[in-house]
């Protein structure tokens, strides 16, 4: 009886290991941009170019916006800063497949403004329009890169003595993702909301890497609302457009 139990447990373990190792998130099957399918770059490929100029600043109607290309080296130093992230400071949570931008917005007006980073887009010179991506897409890519040994370790850590020797709880077949990367991404992301007079707000925008043949990128920080009435209805909107060139210099 005990031998049969061990055999059954072994089959369950092997099946769960192969399933966890081969599982891919449906998020990674979505089209990464709006544009022609024939011109669509493959999803989740490494970015091997750098954006120039590295930093740009523009001011419109007393709103100042600075955009900086966050290279791999930039992000490594940024996330290692304990003064910013405290005990969560550590490894850069983003991958080479991501294009990351550091954005700083200063409201120099006498009234509040509203930003919605989820409406910011990037357009390449093939006519593809990329939306920002959130933590779900970053973690889905990370899970697709996860080695089988990680899934195996998650199963074995939750194994407990049972009637047939050891039991493997179904709800614990996959190791829980570490909270450190979630905290880093959440704290560093450019979040939507009102910016009141005198406020300087900054954070990161994340996109999928553009096609390797792309030479130019336009970043649209659109519809920054202002001049609100008593019902919080905006009377004006500001659009910022930043033009970048893609240099062939390889990044790590």
Cα separation of the two ends of the chain: 55
Q: Per-residue confidence at 16, pLDDT binned at 50, 70, 90?
A: very low
More confident position, 7 or 78 = 78
Percent with pLDDT over 90 in the chain: 44
Examine the pLDDT at 11 and tell me if it is beyond 50: no
pLDDT 10s digits, 189-205: 999 999 999 999 999 99
The full length of the chain comes to 252
Highest mean pLDDT (candidates 3-7, 127-131, 195-199, 232-236) = 195-199
Amino acid 159: pLDDT: 47
More confident position, 154 or 120 = 120
pTM: 0.73
Map residue 148 onto helix, strand or coil: helix
Map residue 14 onto helix, strand or coil: helix
Integer Cα distance of 216 and 126 in angstroms = 9
> 96 is written with which tokens?
């080479």
> 54 is written with which tokens?
């590295």
**Domains of the chain and any CATH numbers:** 1-30+135-176 (no CATH), 33-133+189-252 (2.60.40)
211, 126 Cβ separation under 8 angstroms: yes
């Amino acid at each position: 009886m005990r031998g049969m139990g061990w055999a059954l447990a072994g089959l369950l373990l092997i099946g769960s290991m192969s399933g966890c190792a081969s599982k891919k998130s449906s998020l990674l099957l979505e089209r990464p941009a709006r544009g022609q399918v024939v011109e669509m770059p493959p999803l989740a490929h490494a970015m091997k170019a750098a954006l120039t100029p590295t930093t740009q600043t523009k001011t419109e109607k007393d709103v100042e916006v600075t955009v900086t290309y966050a290279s791999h080296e930039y992000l490594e130093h940024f996330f290692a800063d304990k003064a910013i992230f405290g005990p969560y400071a550590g490894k850069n949570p983003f991958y080479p497949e991501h294009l990351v931008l550091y954005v700083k917005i200063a409201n120099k007006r006498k009234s509040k403004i509203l930003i919605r980073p989820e409406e910011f887009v990037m357009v390449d010179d093939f006519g593809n329009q990329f939306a920002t991506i959130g933590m779900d897409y970053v973690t889905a890519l990370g899970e697709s890169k996860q080695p089988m040994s990680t899934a195996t370790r998650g199963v074995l850590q939750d194994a407990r003595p049972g009637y047939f020797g050891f039991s493997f709880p179904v709800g614990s077949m996959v190791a829980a993702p570490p909270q450190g990367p979630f905290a880093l991404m959440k704290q560093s992301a450019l979040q939507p909301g009102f910016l009141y007079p005198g406020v300087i707000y900054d954070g990161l925008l994340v996109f999928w890497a553009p096609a390797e043949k792309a030479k130019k990128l336009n970043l649209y920080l659109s519809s920054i609302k202002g001049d609100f009435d008593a019902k919080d209805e905006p009377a004006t909107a500001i659009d910022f457009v930043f033009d970048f060139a893609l240099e062939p210099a390889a990044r790590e």
